[in-house]
Amino acid sequence: MERVNVYLNSEIGELEGVILHTPGAEVENMTPENAQRALYSDILNLNVARKEYSQLSGVLSKVAKTYEVVDLLEKVLGNEENREYLLEKICRHENAMSLFDYLLDIDAKQLARMLIEGVPLVRNTLTNFLSKERFALRPLYNFYFTRDASIAIGEDVLIAKMANAVRDRESIIMEAIFSRSGIFNTQTINPTTFNNPADVTIEGGDVLVVRDDILLIGNGIRTNTHGIDFILSRFLARDDKRKRHILVQELPYKPESFIHLDMVFTMLDFDKCMVYEPIILQPNRYQTVHITIDKGKVKEIKTVDNLLVALKSLGIDLKPIVCGGTKDRWIQEREQWHSGANFVAIGPGRVIGYGRNINTLEEMNKNGFEILRAKDIVAGKVDLNSYQKYVVALDGSELPRGGGGARCMTMPFRRKPIKWQ
């Protein structure tokens, strides 16, 4: 079978390949008490979440090739050598080597599910018997946000170094998928294999590939300056010596709806972006920094007014569309909280987001985006090909409680190249 090439040089190029994860039992394997530890602001109902999610996967599978993490993982585990490698890596990382032999014997399909949904603790010792934990390997509650654990940049895949240990296994699995499933043709770059300060963190929600020479990176609770310096060092190490730019946006640490840059800024089109105005445009305490790399060196680091000004200086002139509309700051806050600024593009001017954020959608509509309901597209009542610019509205009441939107729930690894005018 021919391998699929990774190619991603924009946020908006026509989507060709994307990795998804339909929420499974892992999202219900939690209680209100430990939801916080799982990085949720609330607990979810799986049935409803899956229905909502099927709108997203349904729409995406009409326009691109979609892959489910569990199928890709099963593929990795189907190979004896890979299974041993991956299980050893996971068990070692999670201090659970005692599970290794037991897991090794489980068939690939079931094992793939278990590694995502969690491996229950067997109460056969006093320690386990008295333990408050239910799982020996914790469920990957956040895996439906496939955006975060791995990041396609150009032809490579950067493996995220998650800020919270509960998400570490996601990165380990994604690395195995990209380097060992036999499906992808790419090179993985993993910060943990370099000589780095131990405190590097980078998550996919913070990294936006705007153009082949421009990255936008959020610097906040999930991606720290060491993480961004790591990405910088990888660019400096390249042989091509091309000019490149990294634009860094500082983010507030609180509330949790600001965890990633894609919660306050996403690309919608060649000339339009979605912004949460108070952080991205209004004067505030969060700096924007422009790093220019040239001939293998850092040529300049400077503070700039904001992302839009910096992008304009690089030839990308974006009109901001304001999350929550322009009328009321409270509405902006409310819609941002439920991932109102978080859109994923399936092509230039063709994006997907939550329908619940009606003021945001109305604002987009005023700016030329037709509002289409995901439900109608999946049911075949609306044909995407009849529209030029649109926002596909997903029903979302459970999914956003997990803390993310359409961009967070997709991991695009292949988009058609863009011709910037």
Ligand X SMILES: NC(=[NH2+])NCCC[C@H](N)C(=O)O
Residues forming the site for ligand X (CB under 6 A): 39-40, 142, 145, 147-148, 205, 259-260, 262-263, 402-404, 408
Chain centroid to CA 207:
8
| Nearest one of 252, 286, 270 to 347, comparing CA atoms | 270
Q: Report how far residue 252's alpha carbon sits from residue 330's, in angstroms, rounded to the nearest whole number.
A: 18
CA distances from 49 to 32, 127, 161, 208, 394 (A): 17, 35, 27, 26, 12
Task: Give min distance, CB of 254 to ligand X, in A.
Answer: 13
Closest listed residue to residue 174, CA positions, set 395, 6, 377: 6
Min dist. Cβ of residue 46 to ligand X (A): 15
Indicate the residue among 205 and 347 with the shorter CB distance to ligand X: 205
Closer to ligand X at the Cβ: 38 or 136? 38
* Single-letter amino acid code for the residue at 230: F
| Residue number of the CB atom closest to ligand X | 205
- CA nearest neighbour of 402 among 339, 358, 356: 339
Least distance in angstroms from the C-beta of 50 to ligand X = 17
Alpha carbon distances (Å) from 201 to 145, 192, 206:
17, 10, 11
Q: How far is the CB of 404 from ligand X (least distance, A)?
A: 3
Mode of pairing for the β-strands spanning 272-275 and 265-267: antiparallel
Minimum CB distance to ligand X, residue 402 (Å): 5
Q: Nearer to ligand X by C-beta: 382 or 411? A: 411
Q: For residues 145 and 265, which CB has a smaller minimum distance to ligand X in the complex? A: 145
Q: How far is the CB of 63 from ligand X (least distance, A)?
A: 21
- Quick one: 17 or 404, whose CB is closer to ligand X? 404
332 vs 342 by CB, closer to ligand X: 342
Burial class (CB in 10 A: 0-12, 13-18, 19+), 323: buried
- Measured between alpha carbons, how far is 368 from 185 in angstroms, rounded to an integer? 38
**Cis status of the peptide bond prior to 417, with omega within 30 of 0:** no
Distance separating alpha carbons of residues 357 and 324, to the nearest angstrom:
7
The residue among 39 and 391 lying less far from ligand X, judged by its C-beta, is 39
Closest to ligand X by CB, 205 vs 396, is 205
CB atoms near residue 269 (< 10 Å): 21
Q: How far is the CB of 358 from ligand X (least distance, A)?
A: 21
Q: What's the CA angle centered on 402, arms 10 and 163, to 5 degrees?
A: 65
The amino acid that residue 295 corresponds to is K
Residue with smaller CB distance to ligand X, 205 or 227: 205
Let me know: does 261 contact 206? Beta carbons within 8 Å: yes
Q: How far is the CB of 382 from ligand X (least distance, A)?
A: 27
Shortest reach from residue 143's CB to ligand X, in Å: 10
